[in-house]
Amino acid sequence: MLKKIFPVVLMPVLVVLLFNLVVFSRANAETKSDSMIENALERESLKVGFSTFVPWAMQDKNGEFIGFEVDVARKLAADLGVKLELVPVKWAGILPALLTGQFDIIIGGMSVTTERNLKVNFTVPYDFAGLSLVAHKAKAENLKTLNDFNKAECLIAARTGTSAAFSIKLALPKAKLLLFDEEAQAVQELLNGRVHAFVSGEPLPSAMVLEYPDKLFIPENAEIFAKEPVAFAIRKNDFDSLNVLDNWVRRQESLGWLAERRHYWFKTDEWKDKIK
């Protein structure tokens, strides 16, 4: 009698135990796969997505990527004890590339906006981007202030998908905004006098004026007309990685390493010989 009852009693218990084991194993696997930091440590490499912006990220004479963002990415990878894999992508497609797993993290001068934050998680800021407008002297001969460019006939160049493009549209709603996939294309349009002005993050606009003083100028009120926080972007719901990255940024800020790198790339021209 007991032999018949024993299996009947144990069977539901075994089923429950097996079910819990499967659920626990799946949850544990999903937690592991959702952690960018854990995946990078296991892979022994950090895949960083970025797009070229001078002097944030650019190629030197040997074709190697250098810049403020590249230094930050190298330092982060070194502190994690993994190798760095740089993944250059077009700016317009950088968020979809992150969301589809083409790389682990964006370290690429991305400013924090509500629209972007609905798609990805941002860390605490590791920098603040100042946006300026630089104009062509001959093309914008009678335009002296930022507001003077708020006319339908004014052509403003910017890079597609950037906060600079978004901000200038708010500041100058009547002007015609021309968008380009690459920043170099927008810069060339300005230098050739085909647009009245170009908008981008500092220090590029100021550096352009220093390089072409007879051709370019920054109008009144157009130097750093907007300022936005810049942060790392990772996929949603990865709170473990977010905690690690937030604390890494805070530590590098407190040690003065980020300030030193900002000064080198944004306040000096010591790096310019590396790209010419």
Query: Is 264 among the domain residues?
Result: yes
Domain of 74, in residue numbers: 37-126+231-271
Inside any domain, residue 15: no
Cα 103 from chain centroid (whole Å): 13
* pLDDT at position 269: 83
Same domain? 222 vs 237 = no
pLDDT for 213-240, tens place per residue? Answer: 999 999 999 988 888 899 999 999 999 9
Q: Compute the distance between CA of residue 143 and CA of residue 68 in angstroms, rounded to an integer.
A: 33
Inside any domain, residue 28: no
Average pLDDT over residues 103-125: 95
User: Do 175 and 208 belong together in one domain?
Assistant: yes
State whether 140 and 167 are in the same domain. Answer: yes
**How many angstroms separate the first and last alpha carbons of the chain?**
91
Task: Tell me which DSSP letter residue 221 carries.
Answer: T
Q: Are 59 and 52 in contact (CB under 8 A)?
A: yes
Instruction: Please state the rounded mean pLDDT for residues 86-98.
Output: 94
Burial class (CB in 10 A: 0-12, 13-18, 19+), 207: middle
Q: 201 falls in which pLDDT band (50, 70, 90)?
A: confident
Do 219 and 253 lie in a common domain? no
What would the 3-class secondary structure string for 65-122 be? EECHHHHHHHHHHHHHCCEEEEEECCHHHHHHHHHCCCCCEECCCCECCHHHHCCCEE
Is position 172 within any domain? Answer: yes
Q: Are residues 177 and 264 in the same domain?
A: no
pLDDT number for residue 194 = 96
| Number of domains the chain is built from | 2
**What tens digit of pLDDT does each residue of 9-23 get?**
555 555 445 555 544
β pairing state of 155-159 and 176-180: parallel
Of 207, 227, 247, which residue sits at a domain end? 227
Mean pLDDT of 77-93: 96
1 falls within a domain: no
Q: Could you tell me if residue 25 is inside a domain?
A: no
Same domain, yes or no, for 238 and 170?
A: no
Are residues 136 and 196 part of one domain? yes
CA distance 276 to 272: 7
pLDDT of residue 18: 53
CATH, residue 106: 3.40.190.10
